[in-house]
Amino acid sequence: MLRKPGGDREMVDILALVLHHDEQAVLVAVEMALAEGVATKTHVLNLLHRLIDGKTIGGPDIDTPHALALRREPKANVERYDGLRARTAGGRHAS
């Protein structure tokens, strides 16, 4: 955190969380963030609120049936978008 600009301020904000939340919950959230390799204030806050709210983190693996397998990859159709833009360029538009 200290290597990036503003990282020192972010660290102070994380340390200040113990003024508003249980120290053990903050410690667990920080340890989880470090274990995941995402040491940011936003991520620590997210994990902390999940712990406080009692929401599950990293739930069970879901075994999806083969009927839900993707048969055809979705494809971006930029020509369609360009065609829609061309129609509105000379005519009316929403704004």
**Residue 85 and residue 83: Cα distance in Å, rounded?**
5
Backbone angles phi, psi at 70, to 5 degrees: -80, 120
**Domain ranges for the chain:** 7-53
User: How many Cβ atoms sit within 10 Å of the Cβ of residue 65?
Assistant: 6
> Tell me: the pLDDT tens digits for 62-94?
787 887 888 888 888 878 777 777 665 555 555
Return the percent helix, strand and coil in the chain, to nearest 5: 60, 0, 40
pLDDT at 95 over 60: no
What confidence score (pLDDT) does residue 43 get?
92
In this prediction, residue 5 has a pLDDT band, given cuts at 50, 70 and 90, of: confident
What dihedral do alpha carbons 55, 61, 67, 69 form, nearest 10°? 100
pTM for this model (two decimals)? 0.54
12, 30 contact by CB (below 8 A)? no
What confidence score (pLDDT) does residue 74 get?
82
